[in-house]
């Protein structure tokens, strides 16, 4: 029998204002999702903000679980272990490694994020929301059969599809011990003008790609 490997889909209830706003809109307890290759979720790959103080400057990131901690508060998480064939696991790892190597070309899809309450996905080259990214990984590398043939799945819908694969749900506190920021720039203290310039440039490029495609 062929050896099975797993990717771990992590759903998060984050503690910052943007997460609270998203949950208020959706009425769902989780507002963020990502992919990890280890059960200890030492690194979570996703599309999110790059710096804590720049909520509208986002792209492809290697998140540390330390993002779950905000002062005395720690976010809640749900982890689903999805089986893959060994060959597909290796291909998924290589795909993510290539994305991270070229991460500067990937942009968080703010346009899709703004339209998600209406169930609308706007496809833009090299641009994803966290839910779009997780969906693409599941469709490309796992054997999960989605009942509906559609391009848009909300975090709630993804969570429901993956419920049979759940291995943990609760506080993220148990995953923080001995954890470092690693390749995650989230906590770095950058100047207001640096973050403003990056935010403007990032979203100008996103708009340029949107106009070019549509």
pLDDT of residue 179: 86
User: How many Å is the maximal CA-CA distance in the chain?
Assistant: 56
pLDDT of residue 116: 84
Give me the residue label for tokens 């992919």. 35
Closest CA to 173 of 32, 48, 91, 68: 68
Contact 34, 181 (CB under 8 A): no
Residues in the chain: 214
Give this prediction's pTM.
0.95
Contact 104, 205 (CB under 8 A): no
CA distance 159 to 174: 21
Pairing relationship of beta strands 4-13 and 127-128 according to DSSP bridges: unpaired
pLDDT of residue 1: 52
13-21 own/partner pairs: CB under 8 Å, 24+ apart: 13/75, 13/76, 13/77, 14/67, 14/68, 14/70, 14/75, 15/68, 15/69, 15/70, 15/71, 15/73, 15/74, 15/75, 16/52, 16/55, 16/70, 17/55, 18/49, 18/55, 19/75
Per-residue pLDDT of the chain (214 residues; tens, 9 = 90+): 567 899 999 999 999 999 999 999 999 999 999 999 999 999 999 999 999 999 999 999 999 999 999 999 999 999 999 999 999 999 999 999 999 999 999 999 999 999 988 878 899 999 999 999 999 999 999 999 887 777 789 999 999 999 999 999 999 999 998 889 999 999 999 999 999 999 999 999 999 999 987 7
pLDDT of residue 2: 60
């Amino acid at each position: 029998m062929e050896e099975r490997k797993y990717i771990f889909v992590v759903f998060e209830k984050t503690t910052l204002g943007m997460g609270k706003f998203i949950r208020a809109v959706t009425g769902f307890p989780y507002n963020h999702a990502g992919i990890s290759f280890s059960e200890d979720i030492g690194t979570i790959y996703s599309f999110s903000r790059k710096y804590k103080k720049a909520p509208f400057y986002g792209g492809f990131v290697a998140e540390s679980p330390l993002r779950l901690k905000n002062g005395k508060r720690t976010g809640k998480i749900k982890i689903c272990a999805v089986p893959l064939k060994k060959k597909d696991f290796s291909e998924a790892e290589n795909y993510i490694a290539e994305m991270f190597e070229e991460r500067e070309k990937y942009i968080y899809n703010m346009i899709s994020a703004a339209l998600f309450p209406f169930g609308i996905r706007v496809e833009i080259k090299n641009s994803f929301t966290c839910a779009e990214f997780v969906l693409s990984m599941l469709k490309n590398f796992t054997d999960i059969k989605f009942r509906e043939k559609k391009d848009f799945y909300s975090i709630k819908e993804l969570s429901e599809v993956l419920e049979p694969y759940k291995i943990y749900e609760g506080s993220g506190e148990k995953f923080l011990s001995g954890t470092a920021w690693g390749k995650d720039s989230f906590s770095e203290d950058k100047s207001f003008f640096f973050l403003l310039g990056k935010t403007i440039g990032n979203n100008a490029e996103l708009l340029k790609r949107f106009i070019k495609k549509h």
